[in-house]
Chain A
Amino acid sequence: MKDLIFLTYSEIKTKLNDGSLKSADLVSAYIKRIEGTDSKVKAFLEFNKERILKQAEESDNRRKSGKLLSEFDGIPIGIKDNICITGEITSCSSKILENFRSPYDASVIQRLKEKGFVFFPRLNMDEFAMGSSTENSAYQTTRNPFDTSRIPGGSSGGSAAAVAASMLPVSLGSDTGGSIRQPAALCGIWGLKPTYGRVSRYGLIAYASSLDQIGPFSNDLQGISDLMEIISGLDHKDQTTAKVNPFEASSVSSVDWKGKRIGVMKSEEFNFSPDVNKRYTEILKELESKGATLVPLDFSLLKYAIPVYYLIATAECSSNLSRFDGIRYGLRKEGAGKLEDLYSESRTAGFGPEVKRRILLGTFSLSSGYYDAYYGKAQKARVLIRKQYAEFFKTVDIIFQPTSPTTAFKVGEKTKDPIQMYQADILTTSVNLAGVPAISCPAGLDSNGLPIGLQITSSHFDETKLLSYAKSTSELEICKLVLPSEIT
């Protein structure tokens, strides 16, 4: 029999429902895996065996007494450390929230609880989701399960690494500029950023509110579809959730490539590592041989995406993170005894260097004399990027790009230079700025045995089309899932 930890999400769901697998047995196998492996991967900031196992036992009891909450009852799920669960610490991998125990559930957690999922908090991340490698965590750097001398991507590095290391079948992360798709790509699994407004942000500790979305990671596509169906939808606690037709997992079906118009990058714009370039070219050739038409798109606006992203995201973060003042919750440093000192002493002690950098940049671009040239200008540039995507989808059905210009880099390789680190998100940030949905799919390994990710992007609220193309892509021989069986 296949070791339980290597079951796919779909196999787990089937076995739990046909009675051949107990949630407690599955969860025990994952706990054993985490205990044996996480000292190398460092995906978890904390995990409380007793509390996790208790949830699984409760699920098994519900199943025994015929009081099952749903067909998902008993499925384990990992949670990024910025999504609130009642009674659990939610620290955003920051010292300022080191002891913050959430008094409420995020809306996504509430929806998953109603279905009976078993929660595995807390997965490591870059502090306040600011970073592309998890090296900005105040506690630990998560390692890539394919090569533990390398980073797993970020900011949701713990969520991606836990699934890739077979410590969990699915997890939740958040994506502001690529924080789900880039780690999914670097860890060789699926990770989806929903359309802005598709999933409630209530209970997601805010970084940049106009860009943030919660989304799933999974070791198969059914996990992505199922989680999207459960977590998405209108929520009166988040005014920016959209009143649109709900996404249904059953709406996803394979596409016939014949006659499909696929938006691609122009070959002169392939500034990727040679292996990423080669694999992207191979995939496009294969789609062409199946009858699809490749349509080169003008991505020249893309070079502005990172500057625009940094101006907007940091402006929003300087505002959002002003709530951490040492008064009502979080770290408090008394300072010189005056209120003003308490604010600045608490914030100076509680935030790490990258968070401070971004707060300062955001404060600068919003400050008198600079607002129009920076924040105001970036807002207008964002409109142009959004319009560019609308134009794209008038001429193509879907867009295919690599998710990341390179595969996983070494720990420490880019920490000295913030701008080099920012470049890791060159292909993902424009998607957040436009608000459209995108998924990173596994696309084989490079010559060093490291995963390559393929980013598929569709138009607003068309997750059905997005996942249908992802499904057909996963059926290509060169895009099959490969996970490391041994972690060294």
Chain B
Amino acid sequence: MDEKELKNIAHLAKLNIEDTEVSSMLNDFSRIVQYVDEIKNLDTTSVGDDEIYEQIFYELRKDFAENGLKRDDLAKIAPSYENGYIVVPKVIET
């Protein structure tokens, strides 16, 4: 892992990394990756791809309408809200 790769991961995760943080983050990150690398020593060839999903139950709910959250309640928690819409910065560049 180098600075370029770290910044790429941070970009994918929508996090900014200050130049002053890079070396300590690289250090932490390399140690953690080295630590989790231990699983490479475990033989998992006996496990089939389909076995991964065994534990999920999926009890589908009935298809009926019910009252969910009200728009007014959601407006209260939005950072910026006008006339029934959440306001965001301009998306289309001119």
Q: Which one of A144-152, A164-172, A264-272, A324-332 is at the interface?
A: A324-332
Chain A 214-238, CB-CB to B under 8 Å as 1, else 0, gives: 0000000000000000000010110
Interface of chain A, main secondary structure: helix
Query: Is B78's CB within 8 Å of the partner chain A?
Result: yes
Question: Is the CB–CB distance between A311 and B57 below 8 Å?
Answer: no
- Which B1-53 residues have a C-beta within 8 angstroms of A? 6, 9-10, 12-16, 25, 28-29, 31-33, 35-40, 42, 44, 46-47, 51-52
Q: How far does the alpha carbon of A141 sit from the alpha carbon of B80 in the complex, in Å? A: 32
Q: How far does the alpha carbon of A422 sit from the alpha carbon of B86 in the complex, in Å? A: 40
Most chain B CB atoms below 10 A, which of A243, A311, A348, A422: A348
Q: How far does the alpha carbon of A378 sit from the alpha carbon of B54 in the complex, in Å? A: 15
Interface of chain B, main secondary structure: loop
Sort chain B's interface into a size bin.
35 or more
Among B15, B35, B44, the residue within 8 A (CB) of A360 is: B15
Q: How far does the alpha carbon of A351 sit from the alpha carbon of B60 in the complex, in Å? A: 35
Q: How far does the alpha carbon of A332 sit from the alpha carbon of B31 in the complex, in Å? A: 32
Closest CB-CB distance, B90 to chain A, in whole Å?
Answer: 8
Question: Is the CB–CB distance between A329 and B36 below 8 Å?
Answer: no
Query: Is A292's CB within 8 Å of the partner chain B?
Result: no
Q: Which one of A380-388, A442-450, A470-478 is at the interface?
A: A380-388
CB contacts (< 8 Å) of B86 on chain A: these are 327-328
Q: How far does the alpha carbon of A241 sit from the alpha carbon of B91 in the complex, in Å? A: 39
Question: Is the CB–CB distance between B10 and A103 below 8 Å?
Answer: no
Closest CB-CB distance, A3 to chain B, in whole Å?
Answer: 41
CB contacts (< 8 Å) of B73 on chain A: these are 103
Query: Is A484's CB within 8 Å of the partner chain B?
Result: no
Q: Which one of A116-124, A180-188, A339-347, A396-404 is at the interface?
A: A339-347
**Told that A329-B78, A367-B12 touch, could you supply 14 new A-B pairs with CB distance under 8 A?**
A239-B57, A307-B37, A318-B13, A327-B79, A328-B74, A337-B89, A342-B88, A344-B15, A345-B16, A360-B10, A361-B29, A363-B9, A373-B40, A419-B31
Selected A-B contacts with CB under 8 Å, 23 pairs? A101-B76, A196-B55, A240-B56, A240-B57, A240-B58, A301-B42, A337-B90, A339-B91, A344-B16, A348-B15, A360-B25, A361-B29, A361-B36, A364-B9, A377-B39, A377-B40, A380-B44, A380-B47, A380-B51, A383-B52, A419-B32, A419-B35, A435-B55
- A residues whose Cβ falls under 8 Å from a Cβ of B: 100-101, 103-104, 196-197, 234, 236-237, 239-243, 301, 303-304, 307-308, 310-311, 318, 322, 325-332, 334, 337-345, 347-348, 351, 356-357, 359-361, 363-365, 367, 373-374, 377-384, 386, 418-419, 422, 435
